[in-house]
Amino acid sequence: MSNDFDFNEPRQQGKKIDYKKTFFNPQEGTNNLRIVDLAGKSFKVHYVKDINQKNVFVKSPGPGDPLVVEGNKPRTRYYLKVIDRESNMLKVWEFGSQIRQAIEEYITDLKEERAKSGDETNTLNNYDLVLRKRKPQSNPLYTLSLAQKVGKETLEADQVIIDNDDIDFEPLLRPWSIERIKEQILGIKDGETGGGNADFNVDQIEKEAAAEDAEKAESAPREKVATASAKETVKAAENASESWLDD
């Protein structure tokens, strides 16, 4: 394997992520978006406090994750690429499992409609979505619904945006290292086997995370509140769909 280098060439620096530009950040009121690619990414994240008692969102490194050993179960989050109609830019939309369920149910509904109508263009990524964000502390905080089917001219304009896509999921998915978690969350330095963050309390963190989730719970598409017994009228949507970013 070649590891050639040339001192005549400037050193390549890692590209800094512009989170504000990269992520879809819904504002209070109506937000319009279109999912342009139904193939997304998933990752595991912990909601915890660091050694300074600051709330942080830690992307799990997977096997050997010391927070899992401590009893903190990570949650699954998802990324999809969308066009934000406000800025008319390609963005990354982050959401949780219930939004994923809502999207899957829309896909199923449209598949059934395609079977009846024979219209092969009747797919979710050919529709705009409306995400309504209510005032803080509202429950549900968000509602998600289908808007109009995207017209030919808009599809053509969107394609220009898609063709210039420069979003790279890889740096966004980069997990915390095991060493970083031990030092910044558990307060364990190299060579130590325990102790450190005496205030690290998994049960308390989970309770606080659950309380936060309750405040940010989202209702179903078509503005219905999710219930297990009313799937045909409900699209569950939990997650504030805001970007939880690592410091």
At 189-242, the pLDDT tens digits run 765 555 444 344 444 444 444 555 554 444 434 433 332 322 332 232 233 333
Asked whether the beta carbons of 61 and 181 are under 8 A apart, the reply is yes
- The answer to whether domain 19-223 has CATH 1.10.3470 is no
Domains of the chain by residue range: 19-223
The SS3 call for residue 143 is strand
Highest mean pLDDT among 8-17, 56-65, 90-99: 56-65
Residues in the chain: 247
The pTM of the full predicted model, rounded to 2 decimals, is 0.71
Cα(187)–Cα(180) distance, integer angstroms: 9
**Dihedral sign computed on CA atoms, order 158, 163, 169, 172:** negative
At 136-156, the pLDDT tens digits run 988 877 788 999 999 999 999
